[in-house]
Amino acid sequence: MNGIFGNLIRKASAHRIITAGAVLAVLFAGAAVFCASCIGELDYSVLEKRSRVLYASDGSVIGYSLSEDNDSYRFYTGAD
């Protein structure tokens, strides 16, 4: 296409490409910030220091709570 309409179509296409690139850049930056904040919230401390632990009579750990305020425990299970 030549003339005025050809230039408008080319400019619109370039504008769409630039807009799509900007949107992808913002989404990528948001995903990177989200992942970085999630990694920063992980608790790598020893299990006994971050929750209550249930011990078996032989001293092995059989379960643990998810926090000090929680009465709900997760138990280690094995094949019977």
Give the helix/strand (H/E) hosting 36.
Answer: helix 3-40
Give the helix/strand (H/E) hosting 65.
Answer: strand 61-65
pLDDT digits (tens, 9 = 90+) for 15-44: 777 788 888 899 999 999 998 888 877 766
Q: Do 38 and 50 share a structural domain? A: no
User: What is the band of 77 on the pLDDT scale with cuts at 50, 70, 90?
Assistant: low
Q: Is there a contact between 59 and 73 (Cβ–Cβ < 8 Å)?
A: no
Q: Do 22 and 54 share a structural domain? A: no
Q: Do 38 and 12 share a structural domain? A: yes
Q: What pLDDT is attached to residue 72? A: 65
Q: Do 54 and 26 share a structural domain? A: no
Q: Do 6 and 38 share a structural domain? A: yes
Instruction: Answer whether 0.75 is exceeded by the pTM.
Output: no
* Mean pLDDT along residues 5-24: 72
Q: Identify the domain containing residue 18 by its residue range.
A: 1-42
